[in-house]
Structure 1
C-alpha cells in the first residue's frame, strides 16, 4: 500500500511517498537530476519486501514545486532532512542515483549515526575546474532535454503543480556546475563511516571510471561494482542486475570483509 504526502519547506512543497513494510527498515531512494521518484519503480521487483521504501521528489522535480530558493545539493539535503524529520525516521539506508547519490554522500557525512548503509550509482562527488563534462553541461538547454527525453518532460508537466521546465533546467545546470561548499562533497567523503557501495555504469559519460575508483579509495569502508554494458542510468538499463546487487548489499553480512565487490 502506498502513502503519499507533502511538506512545506523553504517556500516549496516537497513530495514523498512510502510503500512496502511499514515496520521495516527505511530505504531512502533518491532520483537523478531532471528525473523523479518514478524512475526507481523499475527496480522494485528485485528489492526485499522487508523494507519501508521512501521516495522523494527533489525540489522542482516530479510532484515537488521549485519555490523561490536557489537549487543546490545543500538545499536538496535540507529538504530530505525535513521529510525524514516529519516522518520521524532517524535511521535508514540510502540508494541514490546521480544527483540522488551526491545528496546521499552529504547525508552520510553529516549524519553518520543515521545513515546505516549507502549505495550510489553514477554519482559525482567532485567537479574539477577542468572536468570534461563542464562544457557539455553549460550547453544544455530545455529544448535539448525535451528532444532527448520527451516522455520525461511530459510526465513533469502532468505531475508538477507549478511547472516551468525552462526555469528548472536553468537552476539544475547551476547546481551541476556549483563548486562551492553547497555543492559536491569533495574530500569530505573521507568522513563517511557506513558501509558504502559505489556503482558505476561501464559506459557512463558523466561519472568516469577513474573518478569512481578514486572515490572507492577515499571512503574507508567502500565497495565497488562496475555494471557491464550500461551507461549513466544503469538502474534503468539493467534493473534486475542493479536491483539484485543493491538488495544483496543491504542484506550482506560485511563483518570481517574489507570489500564487497572488487
Structure 2
C-alpha cells in the first residue's frame, strides 16, 4: 500500500483522546511524518505518498478530533498537537524523524523543530504561519468562520469527516480549531521561538495562497539560520494536492541532502 486509506491503521490513547495513524513504506527506512492541515486528514497527502513511500517510512497522523482521531475534553492548542505527535514518536520508539507539515501541521512542525524535544532532521512546512499578526488578513477570516460556512465551502471534506470519525461533531470541532487559530498565547503559534530552530528548514508557499502571505513566509525564512524558501508560482495553499509534480522534486532533493 502506498496511500493512506483510513483502514488498517492503529490508535494511540493520549489522555481521553485516541490518535489514529497509518504507516507506509519499509519499516527500516528513514522516518518521515506527515502532518495535515486544519479540519483535514491524512488522505490529503495521497498525491505525494506513493512517491515518498519508495524512499521513506511514511507515517501519517490524524490530528486530534480530525480524520479518525477523537477530540477529547482538553482544549485544542498547537502545543497539545505538538505533544500528540511527540507521543506517537515515543510510542513507536523513533530516534529521529523528518517532517512535512501543511498549514496547521506545518505550525506543529515548527514548534517541534524549535523545542527540540525530539530529534527533527529536516522539517518542511507548506502554507504555514509562524505567527499571526494583529493585522494579518487571515485573522479576520478565522474570526468570521462558522461550521455552516465551512460546510458550504468544503462539503465533501465535512462529509468525509462525518463518515470516518468515531465521534463526529463538526460544530464542536470547528469551534475548537477556530479557537486554536486565534490563540495568541505561548500555547499557540511558535512565534519568536523559531529563531531556535537548528535543523535545516524548507518553507513552501504557493504564490496564490490567500491565507499565508509572501511576507509571512519570508519573515520565517529570515529568522531561521540557513532556512530556504520555495515560493511556487501559480500554486495555492495546498500545492501538495494541486501541483505535486512541481513540489516533489524540490522536497525530495531537500530531504535527501
Q: What is the 5 A alignment of 1:58-97?
A: 58-97=63-102
Q: Does 1:205 pair with 2:230?
A: no
Q: Output the CA distance in 2 between the equivalents of 1:47 and 1:173.
A: 31
Q: What corresponds to 2:225 in structure 1?
A: 220
Q: Deviation at 1:17?
A: 0.6
Q: How many residues align?
A: 252
Where do 1:168-207 residues align within 5 Å? 168-207=173-212
Distance in 1 separating the partners of 2:37 and 2:96: 22
Among 149, 154, 176, the alignment partner of 2:154 is 149
Aligned-partner Cα distance in 2 for 1:16–1:84: 11
SS at match of 1:124: coil
Q: Tell me the distance in 2 between the aligned counterparts of 1:230 and 1:194.
A: 26
Whether 1:49 aligns to 2:54 is yes
With over 3 angstroms needed to count, the CA separation of the structure-2 counterparts of 1:12 and 1:48, relative to structure 1, is closer
SS for the counterpart of 1:229 is coil
Q: Which one of 114, 135, 144 corresponds to residue 130 of structure 1?
A: 135
For residues 19-48 of structure 1, the C-alpha deviation after alignment (integer angstroms, 9 at most, x for no partner) is 101100000000000000110111123325
- Once the two structures are TM-superposed, the CA of residue 243 in structure 1 deviates from its matched residue by 2.3
Q: Distance in 2 between matches of 1:6 and 1:29?
A: 16
Alignment deviations for residues 196-237 of structure 1 (CA, whole Å, 9 cap, x no partner): 100011011111001111111100120111111111111111
The residue number in structure 2 matching 1:250 is 255
Q: Which ranges in structure 2 are unaligned for 5 or more consecutive residues?
A: 3-7
With the length of structure 1 as denominator, give the TM-score of the two structures.
0.93
Q: Is 1:13 aligned with 2:18?
A: yes
Contact 1:46 1:244 in 2 (8 A): no
Q: 4+ runs of 1 displaced by more than 4 Å?
A: none
State TM-score, norm by structure 2: 0.95
Question: What CA distance in whole angstroms lies between the structure 1 residues aligned with 2:19 and 2:134?
Answer: 32
Gaps of 5+ in 1: 253-262
Deviation per CA, 1:84-136: give whole Å up to 9, x if none.
11111120100000000000001111127610001101010101122221111
Counterpart of 1:31? 36
